Amino acid sequence: MNIKNAQLLASQSEAIRFEDVVSGQFDSEEAQTTESLKRVLAPLPESPKLHKVLAQAGMGSRLEMEQLIMEGRITVNNEPAHIGQRIQFGDHVKVNGKPIRFRIAPPPARVIAYHKPAGEVVTNDDPQNRPTVFRKLPKLFQGKWQSVGRLDLNTEGLLLFTSSGELANNLMHPRFGLEREYAVRVLGALNQDEKHRLLAGVKLDDGLAQFGSIEDGGGEGSNCWYRVTISEGRNREVRRMFEAVGHAVSRLIRIRYGSMVLPRGLKRGAWVELDAADIKLLTQVVNGLAGRVPADMDTNGSQDGLRRARPPLRNRRPGSVSGSGKAGPSGDKAPTKQPDPMKTALGYIGADSFVRQRQDQGSRRGGGASGSGSRGPGRSR
């Protein structure tokens, strides 16, 4: 076994897999995990000082800018500036009442992975006053958290949040077709015809919907588990698809979003911040998909009348249950799907951040450090 494969296998042990959910290990580990790490976001780099930014903008020397500040001739966001004040991306600065143009790099995107429990809604303001996921997220001093898609009230699992609206939009946009992977428990086993219908496309109230793959997971009695992938995120889509073929969903867990997986050991209601390396990988994945989107596709992700950048439904082979290039009844290969990061050397994102941060905080506690600059998984108090 080479070093790359060894590293991949080691990383996979730190991610929740479909087999863990079916075997019950997913729930047993949740009950056994008692470790609670400090809930701290990583500190951002210090923003530049006002007098330095103005000097760089050609308004004068730093000393001259400090003199104007002391004379009350400079305002930041319509408030008098003060000596030593730092300004951030998006601040409005005026000198003698005139707006000044200057350049400050926007803050780097922040991304957190949240383990959503059932019973929480993904909204900032719920008229029914139900628990919301945003109540448990850390406070951002600049900007706000934006959820990457939604999970309904009774669905649990991986939910991503980011401070970057552009990144959130790219992760959700239908034209990129990022796969979502779910562990689904339904009442009654699917027969072969029902599987083919779900892969070929079932008609819902808001249009056709189809799974990219379906894999049996076993189960007990009438409860049957399936691992499914889907490349869009309409409201309650997975549940409605199974209902369309006559099966009710009794449990639904999202364990992967694109290349991001649910880290093992991240308790329900807890979050972990992705480090710079993982955010870079996540961005590269999106940018790589963007490079393969046809140039004639519009901003709504449509091309020649298609809803998404993928083959038309009529060209998909219903005989391909896994959607991974297996031959259908005609002997032709089904369209190639995105590589499964759980099964290839491409690897995946998220688990390494969690492990590194857990180890880092453990070493800080052992060394007597305060850990004030650390970040890690945590619960709201």
pLDDT in tens, 305-327: 223 333 333 333 333 354 444 43
Q: Where are the domains of the chain?
A: 50-99
Q: Show the CA angle centred on residue 109, arms to residues 105 and 113, nearest 5°.
A: 170
Q: Show the CA angle centred on residue 36, arms to residues 120 and 131, nearest 5°.
A: 15
Predicted confidence at residue 35, as pLDDT, reads 53
Given a cut of 90, whether residue 197 has pLDDT beyond it is: yes
Predicted confidence at residue 236, as pLDDT, reads 94
Predicted confidence at residue 205, as pLDDT, reads 94
Tens of pLDDT, residue by residue over 53-74, are 999 999 999 999 999 999 999 9
Token pair belonging to 68: 């104007």
Q: Which of 2-16, 159-173, 349-363 has the highest mean pLDDT?
A: 159-173
Tens of pLDDT, residue by residue over 168-195, are 998 888 777 789 999 999 999 999 999 9
Question: What average pLDDT does the structure give for the chain?
Answer: 77
> Taking the model in full, what pTM does it have?
0.70
Q: Which amino acid is at 109?
A: A
- Judge contact between 146 and 107, C-beta under 8 A: no
Residues 268 and 316: their CA atoms lie apart, in Å, by: 37
Of the pLDDT bands very low, low, confident and very high (cuts 50, 70, 90), residue 282 is confident
Tens of pLDDT, residue by residue over 238-276, are 999 999 999 999 999 999 998 889 988 889 999 999 888
Given a cut of 90, whether residue 153 has pLDDT beyond it is: yes
Predicted confidence at residue 344, as pLDDT, reads 37
Tens of pLDDT, residue by residue over 83-124, are 999 988 889 999 999 999 988 877 788 999 999 999 999 998
Residues with active-site annotation? 152
CA 21 to chain centroid: 20
Of the pLDDT bands very low, low, confident and very high (cuts 50, 70, 90), residue 2 is very low
Given a cut of 60, whether residue 151 has pLDDT beyond it is: yes
Tens of pLDDT, residue by residue over 334-366, are 444 554 444 433 456 665 565 566 566 566 555
Of the pLDDT bands very low, low, confident and very high (cuts 50, 70, 90), residue 33 is low
Give DSSP secondary structure letters for 176-202.
T---EEEEEEEESPPPHHHHHHHHH-E
Residues 236 and 111: their CA atoms lie apart, in Å, by: 24
Q: Which CATH number fits domain 50-99: 3.40.50.300, 3.20.20.10, 3.10.290.10, 3.30.2040.10?
A: 3.10.290.10
